[in-house]
């Protein structure tokens, strides 16, 4: 299994899913750029050109509409395709049967086009750090390795999602505080503040709140799954059976379809620390499980 995750076919699936996720993040970025521009421009215009308050409010409402429809649809569509490709990668590495034909999955031709030249697969994988995707130990049984890898996936995502919540919550609170201070310093009347500052940024606040809330809930779901698998590995007397692995895998797929996108810059920033923690935890679990199996 450790060798299988570095096989060319597996790496091409990883490359494809990452590139599809990047397209989904572009849809998300288009939505957030507009929201951030509105959030920044509204207070400034309210101070410099108070008469523009109504226009800014109308633009904010229109952007919220398009963000919740066209941009959200594009992001969701690409997320579903990427999740299906990542599911194919997992089932290939874990040697799991394909129980459901997923209509969201790209065709072989699509994956070939997205992944690019097959001869360059290893080079691309090394550049994007896709080798040894899961912390698979040579000394563990197949079922234990799969369970540890599934837990690692859930725990890694949980850490990343919680960090995202912290970043966005801090940024949102900081911006709200700054906006209030600037409005008070500029001597805006209550009416101008409400119409020109608060109302135009409410759509941005709504999107930010929904993103933070859904990210927090996604992190909680990932943590619950990681805790469930860990408890089974540490307290289960019998070996993990295939049905349990299939249930956990299906849950992972469901979460991937709905988990909010994480900014690439934050993923790259936290990756060294998160991967070190992932490998350390996987090694501890594998060692403990191996000791039980040897007894």
- Which of 78, 101, 69 has the alpha carbon at shortest distance from 88? 101
Number of Cα atoms under 13 Å in the Cβ half of residue 208: 22
Contacts of residue 89, defined as CB under 8 A and 6 or more positions apart, other chains included, come to 10, 13, 14, 17, 133
Residue 141 has pLDDT above 60, yes or no: yes
Task: Note the pLDDT tens digit of each residue in 145-178.
Answer: 999 999 999 999 999 999 999 999 998 888 878 8
| Residue 69's pLDDT band (cuts 50, 70, 90) | confident
Distance CA(258)–CA(279), nearest Å, equals 26
Helix axes 142-185, 264-294, angle to 10 degrees: 150
Task: Note the pLDDT tens digit of each residue in 41-65.
Answer: 666 666 667 676 667 667 767 777 8
Residue 290 has pLDDT above 60, yes or no: no
Contacts of residue 265, defined as CB under 8 A and 6 or more positions apart, other chains included, come to none
Tokens at 155, concatenated: 């725990």
Q: Where is average pLDDT lowest: 201-205, 221-225, 249-253?
A: 201-205
Domain coordinates in residue numbering, the chain:
4-131+138-294
Burial bucket for residue 289 (CB in 10 Å: 0-12, 13-18, 19+):
buried
Count of other CB atoms within 10 angstroms of residue 23:
17
**Predicted structure pTM score:** 0.86
Contacts of residue 174, defined as CB under 8 A and 6 or more positions apart, other chains included, come to none
Task: Note the pLDDT tens digit of each residue in 80-105.
Answer: 999 999 999 999 999 998 877 778 88
């Amino acid at each position: 299994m450790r060798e299988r995750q570095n096989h060319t076919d597996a790496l091409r699936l990883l490359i494809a899913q990452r590139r599809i996720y990047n397209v989904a993040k572009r849809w998300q970025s288009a939505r957030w750029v507009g929201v951030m521009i509105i959030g920044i421009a509204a207070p400034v215009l309210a101070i410099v050109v108070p008469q523009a308050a109504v226009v800014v409010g109308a633009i904010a409402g229109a952007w919220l509409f398009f963000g919740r429809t066209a941009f959200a649809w594009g992001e969701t569509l690409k997320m579903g395709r990427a999740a299906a490709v990542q599911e194919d990668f997992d089932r290939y590495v874990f040697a799991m049967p394909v129980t459901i034909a997923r209509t969201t999955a790209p065709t072989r031709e699509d994956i070939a086009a997205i992944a690019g030249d097959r001869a360059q697969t290893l080079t691309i994988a090394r550049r994007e750090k896709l080798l040894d995707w899961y912390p698979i130990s040579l000394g563990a049984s197949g079922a234990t390795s799969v369970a540890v890898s599934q837990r690692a996936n859930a725990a890694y995502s949980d850490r990343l999602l919680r960090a995202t919540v912290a970043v966005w919550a801090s940024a949102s609170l900081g911006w709200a505080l700054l906006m209030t201070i600037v409005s008070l310093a500029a001597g805006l009347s209550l009416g101008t503040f409400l119409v020109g500052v608060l109302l135009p940024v409410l759509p941005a606040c709504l999107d930010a709140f929904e993103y933070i809330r859904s990210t927090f809930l996604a992190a909680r779901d990932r943590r619950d799954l990681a805790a469930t698998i860990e408890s089974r590995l540490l307290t289960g007397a019998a070996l993990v059976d295939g049905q349990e692995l299939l249930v956990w895998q299906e849950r992972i797929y469901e979460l991937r379809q709905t988990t909010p996108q994480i900014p690439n810059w934050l993923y790259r920033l936290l990756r060294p620390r998160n991967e070190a923690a992932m490998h350390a935890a996987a090694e501890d679990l594998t060692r403990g499980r191996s000791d039980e199996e040897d007894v």
